A and B are shown apart, each in its own frame.
Chain A
Amino acid sequence: MTIRTARQDRGQHFRPRMHCFKKLEAIVVEMQDQKSGVKGSEQKLNVSTIPHVISKDVIAWIANKMKSTAETLVFGTMLVAYGYIYPLQNHKKLVMCNDASLYRFQTPYFWPAQKWVAEDSDYAHYNHLHELLNHKWDFIVMQATEQYAGKERKKPDRVVFDCQERAYWIVNRPPRRTHSAMDVGPERLIDPNTDENIFFQQAIMRSKVKSSVSLGLVKYITTYKNHDPFLAPCLPSNPWLSDNDSYWNLNMRVDAPTKMRVERWSFSFFELLSDLRGRDDFKVFLKKEFENLAFWEAAEELKWGTASSMSTKAETIFRTFLAPGAPRWINIDGRTMGLTVKGLDHPHRYVLEAAQTHVFLLMKKDTFFRYLKSPVYKEMQKKALNPEPHNFQSQLDQNAQNRSAGIHPIILWQQEEEEKAKAAAAAAPIDVKAMMSKIDRKK
């Protein structure tokens, strides 16, 4: 056995991560109350008689206290896992079982509080490692004498103390390959307070909205209620329940979308644009007037693109959409145009924000509503599929064995990139000079 030195400090002496310890301790104290707590009794175990042993009355007491039965076993297990209660049989498995297992309350001396850090040298002493630690032995003996100074022990007390000590070490030095509740992960730091006043001034200056106006949260929930697979069944079936992935296949970029999907496009312009199939349909509706959408897409690419490509992209966008006489000139107000052109002197990724927002709002408030009333959308609604719900209960085993792998996202991505490149090439504004020089050369 090796002595591990730089052990992770479970004491968390920076501050209490275990916010729950105070509450837990209060409950454990209540449990040990003479009148209203859990009743203990003497039990014979092996040779010795152990006092104050408790059994599954603990669970009944917890259920009564919490006024709910759902988590009683979980809570009991937590008490055992943190060492407030320890099992007398199976002492290595720190769970509370709802059977005849016997438990005892741990003495407060051994509770997992911050002030008492489980030192490695204490553990070494417990494991009779003094043979290996000859050079540290004097120090260890000194520590031990301090601990036991003035405390005389009788035989029954010894047994009890041994049980308690063993339980303490099982919690604080868990055997290999077991889960421990005391594990808290890496340390968290705290810095001293810095100046927060600048922030507060701004917060007061900012405009706020009255609560009732902003409760559009409720409206969102009501709109999407039938589209939430946890609340309403999805058609034909939820792939995780039936092991049949047709739901996912039907919702790819197919020619015939489902009725639910088409309905979802009408909820907001953002929904329509985020679903690529919806965007395709919107483009069909726009026919020749899609410079606004093209500008929006180009601005998105600029915003989320790599830092190195920014200036070239900004140049192209300026030439294609914003310059006077540009092939795809977008119609935005003078002020925004002025701001944008000025910003293009120092192109940064947000230089098109104002113009993009303006175009987006234009599409959202006007074009989107025209689309919803258009024959294109109405056709789509009629054509949309309404798949039959699967009757999968009888086929579960069969389905489970035939789970299909679907298309890999990398392949899908490559396909989409190819399509985008083709579309860009086809839609690129014709460079008249280049055409003319080509014709000249042919001649």
Chain B
Amino acid sequence: MCDQTFVAVTFGPCESCGLASPLMNIYVKTDPLNYCSFCVEVMACKGLQRGETLTSLKNESESLKKKLEEERVKLNDVELHQVAEKIEVLGALSLKTRRVLKGHSNKVLCMDWCKDRRRIVSSSQDGKLIVWDAFTLNKEHGVSLPCTWVMACAYAPSGCAVACGGLDNKCSVIPLSLDSNENLAAKKKSVAMHTNYLSGCTFTNSDMQLLTSSGDGTCALWDVESGQLLQSFHGHTADVLSLDLAPSETGNTFVSGGSDKKSNVWDMRSGQNVQSFESHESDVNCVKYYPSGDAFASASDDSTCRFYDLRADREVAVYQKDSIIFGASTVDFSLSGRLLFAGYNDYTINVWDVLKGTRVSCLFGHENRISRVRVSPDGTALCSASWDNTLRIWA
């Protein structure tokens, strides 16, 4: 458990604007400041101060970066695969396609499992959202949305609603019903408003709050009932492409990955960026927490997947192979965290041994790039969504 999350968030008057709100604790040249997240943002956007030039700022940034790396290296003693030497090698995995879900007429961009372990919601470029019972292959609901490229969709924890969004710059929540013929699009409710496309969305521990990431470089937390913005998260310098909520008991943090090659960990209460990792060489397409919440994995266009330990604050493994040249677009862990499933743009899914760093298996079958892989909530199956208009269930 990351000790960061046990720190009670300070709440009180901001030292800059005076309004009462959750405060971020930041340091400017070793002086501590307690500002609300809005004032921090204003400060960060201020132009050059007196005595600063672009080059001097850049030099300062470089030297700080180097110092940070030195600190990290000092604490580095044992590599992950060294500790894993004592662990036995995995047996051969025989994963086969058990279901093929056909029904979308264009690329499937996103999918999510329901907590009942068998229902799935999927969204596609043709503007359709389909809710399936993957076990019986029954399509329970089909919703037509007015926008194309619905890039994000999520199932609510109660199983009573779904959220989706994409090029319409919004995230909408649609309540589901027991009646398959009901027109669900009429009950659609816009919750989140961004200034660019929506790249990811997820419900928090209840149906009442929604966390979104967008191409406008920010993430945001929304109250579903009122549509109110509860907290916004600024810090990425390019599109945010993906986010994942921590599975820990306090559930106060989430991680996001963006086109600026960074993966950032955020405190949901104050909006503060608590950790950041920049070791990829290209856009970070997807981030996913390790089941215990102490680590996360990321997939990138540079064809590697990387594993970061949050308590040690550094990258502990890189999953790559010379024969894998195409970008990885999505990752997910198996229930125990031993296996990492990664979907690539060369139409395959590679299964990696998280501890040993070796590839265990390669899954073929899709006819276009994989947009999303997700392990079911009880770990019994893997679902993959692809630009070949289908979804596959592997077990």
Are A229's CB and B269's CB within 8 A?
Answer: no
Within 8 Å by CB of A212, from B78, B84, B283, lies: B78
- Please tell me if A245 contacts chain B, counting CB pairs below 8 Å: yes
From A64-72, A139-147, A149-157, A433-441, the one touching the partner chain is A64-72
Within 8 Å by CB of B311, from A199, A214, A248, A406, lies: A214
Within 8 Å by CB of A353, from B8, B98, B223, lies: B8
Are B290's CB and A217's CB within 8 A?
Answer: yes
Within 8 Å by CB of A211, from B230, B303, B309, B393, lies: B309
- Please tell me if A188 contacts chain B, counting CB pairs below 8 Å: yes
Complex contacts, B151 vs chain A, CB 8 Å: 186
Complex contacts, B6 vs chain A, CB 8 Å: 357
- Sort chain B's interface into a size bin: 35 or more
Are B60's CB and A197's CB within 8 A?
Answer: yes
- Please tell me if A45 contacts chain B, counting CB pairs below 8 Å: no
Complex contacts, A354 vs chain B, CB 8 Å: 8
Per-residue B-contact encoding for A171-204, CB less than 8 Å = 1, 0 else: 0000000010101011011111111111111111
Are B367's CB and A228's CB within 8 A?
Answer: no
Are A225's CB and B98's CB within 8 A?
Answer: no
Are B68's CB and A200's CB within 8 A?
Answer: yes
Complex contacts, B165 vs chain A, CB 8 Å: none
Tell me the dominant secondary structure on chain B's binding face.
Answer: loop
CB-based nearest A residue for B379: A229
Are B294's CB and A218's CB within 8 A?
Answer: no
**With contact pairs A189-B215, A228-B335 given, residues A409 and B77 touching in the complex (Cβ less than 8 Å):** no
**With contact pairs A204-B67, A248-B118, A306-B208 given, residues A227 and B99 touching in the complex (Cβ less than 8 Å):** no
Are A195's CB and B44's CB within 8 A?
Answer: yes
Complex contacts, A205 vs chain B, CB 8 Å: 27
Are B116's CB and A216's CB within 8 A?
Answer: no
Are B87's CB and A222's CB within 8 A?
Answer: yes
CB-based nearest A residue for B309: A214
| Cβ distance B338 to chain A, nearest Cβ, rounded Å | 5
- Please tell me if A148 contacts chain B, counting CB pairs below 8 Å: no
Are B167's CB and A405's CB within 8 A?
Answer: no
Are A307's CB and B78's CB within 8 A?
Answer: no
Interface residues of B in 191-206 (CB under 8 A from A): 196-197, 204-206
Are A198's CB and B135's CB within 8 A?
Answer: no
CB-based nearest A residue for B276: A199
| Cβ distance B158 to chain A, nearest Cβ, rounded Å | 5
Residues of B at the A interface (CB closer than 8 Å) are 4, 6, 8-9, 11, 20, 22, 26-30, 40, 43-45, 57, 60-61, 64-65, 67-68, 71-72, 75-78, 80, 83-84, 87, 90, 93, 95, 98-99, 107, 114-119, 133, 135-136, 138, 149, 151, 158-160, 167, 176-178, 196-197, 204-206, 208-209, 215, 217, 223-226, 228, 230, 235, 237-239, 241, 248-250, 259-260, 269, 273-276, 281-283, 290-292, 294-295, 301-303, 309, 311-314, 316, 321-327, 334-339, 345-348, 354-355, 362, 364, 367-369, 378-381, 387-388, 393, 395
5 tightest CB-CB pairs across the interface, nearest first?
A409-B159, A200-B64, A228-B336, A304-B206, A224-B336
- List 6 extra interface pairs beyond A231-B90, A238-B395, A405-B133, CB under 8 A: A70-B323, A220-B290, A228-B335, A229-B381, A240-B99, A409-B115
